[in-house]
Amino acid sequence: MRIQSKLPGVGVTIFTVMTRLANDHGAINLSQGFPDFDPDGELYELVEKHMRMGRNQYAPMQGVMALREKISEKTAELYGRSYDPAGEITVTSGATEALFAAITSVVGRGDQVIIIEPAYDSYAPAVELSGGIPVYCAMRYPGYSIDWDLVRDSITPKTKLIIINSPHNPTGSVLSPADIAALRDITSGTDILILSDEVYEHIIFDSVVHQSMARDPELAARSFVVSSFGKTYHTTGWKIGYCLAPAPLSAEFQKVHQYLTFASNTPVQHAYAEFMEKKGVCRSLPEFYRGKRDLFISLVQNSRFRCVPSRGTYFQMLDYSGITDEPDVEFARRMTEEHGVAAIPPSVFYHDGVDTRVLRFCFAKKEETLERAAERLCAI
C-alpha cells in the first residue's frame, strides 16, 4: 500500500532518538527535558482526592472552570492582564497540543509564518500541515538574540503569524523589554498574530523579569500565549497545558482543540486548581533551578566543555569545540555510546542544520545525577 506522506521530511523526534539511545546504552539521560525527581507529594494526594470524589468523567471542553479561574488570577497577579475564564482560557493536553491548535486555527494555505530558530521541533510541521509556509529567522551563537531587522525584512503581505519562545528552548535566552518594543513596533498596524510559547515562564534566573506577551496590551490583543503545568510542577507526564488568547482567537482555537482531545484529564485539572493556592511554588522555582544550573556549571568547569550562558529554562548549552570538530549529531551519539551521557544536538532545531559545536544538556535532575554525569563529561 502506498501512502503519500503529508510530512515526508519528518521522522521521530530527536528527543525520542536520544532517549532510546540512552536507554540502549545505559547512559545518563540529560537529553530529554524532564526531571528525574518527584513532584510535591501533595499533588499525588490531591489527584487521588478528586478521583475518589468522583471527578473521573469528561471535563468541560474548555477545561475545569476552577482551574481556568486560578490561571486567570495568576496571570493578572504576575502580568497585570485579566483573561476571562469563560472565554479566553483553554486547558489543553499539554503545551504541544496548544501550539498545534493555535497554529492550525489561524494558518491557511499559502500563509507565511515566521519561526525564530533554533526552534522547538513541533512548530514547522504544524505550519506545513495547515498549508502554511515557514519563514525562518535565525538567532546566532553565542548571544542567541533575535535579529529584529531580519524579522522585519522577512515580513510580507502573506505573513500571518510570528512564533516566539521565551525563555527559549534550547538556548536558554530570554526576551528583554527592548525585544518586546521591537516586536510591538514591527506588528503595529498589521493583522499579524503572535504565538508565544512561554512554557518555562517560571524558570528564569539572575533577577530577570519574564516578558510575557500578556504584559503588553497591544501584543496581548494579537497573541496566543501558551504555558505548561508540567514544567512548573515537575509533572511533564501529566500533560496539562493551557492557552490564553482574546475571545475571538480563543473561539477559533477551541474549534480545533475540541477535535484534537476535546477535554483533558479531569482529576489532574482539579488537583492543579487546588494546588495553585500555594503561590510560593512558582515564586521559589527560579531559585530552585538556578541552584541546579550553577551546580552543573561548577561541576563541569574543569572539563573541556565551555558554558554558554543560560538565563532561563532548565537547559544548559555547552560548547565542545575544544574537544572535537565532529558535527553535533555525531558527537552526541558517540558521547552517549562511549561516555554514557546523552544530550541534544541543537542543529536539529535549525531548518538548514546550522551546527556551532554545542550540545544542550538538561539540568532538571537530582544532585547525584548531575554529579555522575559531570564526572563522565570531565573525563572526555
In a domain, 2, yes or no: no
Task: Indicate if 269 and 335 belong to the same structural domain.
Answer: no
pLDDT above 70 as % of the chain: 100
Query: pLDDT per residue over 290-347, tens digit each?
Result: 999 999 999 999 999 999 999 999 999 999 999 999 999 999 999 999 999 999 999 9
Using CA atoms, how far apart are residues 137 and 201, in angstroms rounded to an integer?
A: 22
CA–CA distance, 166 with 43 (Å, rounded to integer): 27
**How many structural domains compose the chain?**
2
> CATH number for the domain including 352?
3.90.1150.10
pLDDT score of 1 more than 90: no
- Please say if the pLDDT value at position 12 is more than 90: no
Regarding whether 237 and 96 lie in a shared domain, the answer is yes
Q: Which one of 230, 257, 275 terminates a domain?
A: 275
Give the residue numbers spanning the domain of 343.
Answer: 14-39+281-378
**Averaged pLDDT score across all residues of the chain:** 97
Residue 260 belongs to domain with CATH number: 3.40.640.10
What is the rounded distance in angstroms from the CA atom of residue 141 to the CA atom of residue 183? 21
Q: What is the pLDDT of residues 148-184, one digit of tens each?
A: 999 999 999 999 999 999 999 999 999 999 999 999 9
What amino acid occupies position 354?
A: V
User: Which of the listed residues 275, 297, 326 is the one where a domain comes to its end?
Assistant: 275
Instruction: Tell whether the model's pLDDT for residue 258 goes beyond 90.
Output: yes
Q: Distance between CA atoms of 79 and 337, rounded to whole angstroms?
A: 45
pTM: predicted TM-score of the whole model, two decimal places: 0.97
Average pLDDT over residues 79-98: 98
193, 174: one domain: yes
The reply to whether 220 and 156 lie within a common domain is: yes
Average pLDDT over residues 228-233: 97
8 lies in a domain?
A: no
Same domain, 93 and 203: yes
Other beta carbons within 10 angstroms of residue 42's beta carbon come to 14
Q: Is the pLDDT of residue 353 over 90?
A: yes
Q: Is residue 116 part of a domain?
A: yes
Q: Indicate whether 353 and 370 sit together in one domain.
A: yes
**Nine-digit cell string for 258:** 475540541
205, 301: one domain:
no
Chain segment 176-196, per-residue pLDDT in tens: 999 999 999 999 999 999 999
Average the pLDDT over 34-43 and give the result: 96
Do 305 and 266 fall within a single domain? no
Q: What is the mean pLDDT of residues 127-138?
A: 98
pLDDT of 380 reads: 97
pLDDT of residue 323: 98
Contact 336, 191 (CB under 8 A): no
Q: Can you list the alpha helix ranges (DSSP code H) found in the chain?
A: 14-25, 41-52, 65-79, 95-106, 123-129, 148-154, 177-187, 217-220, 229-233, 247-260, 266-275, 280-300, 328-334, 367-378
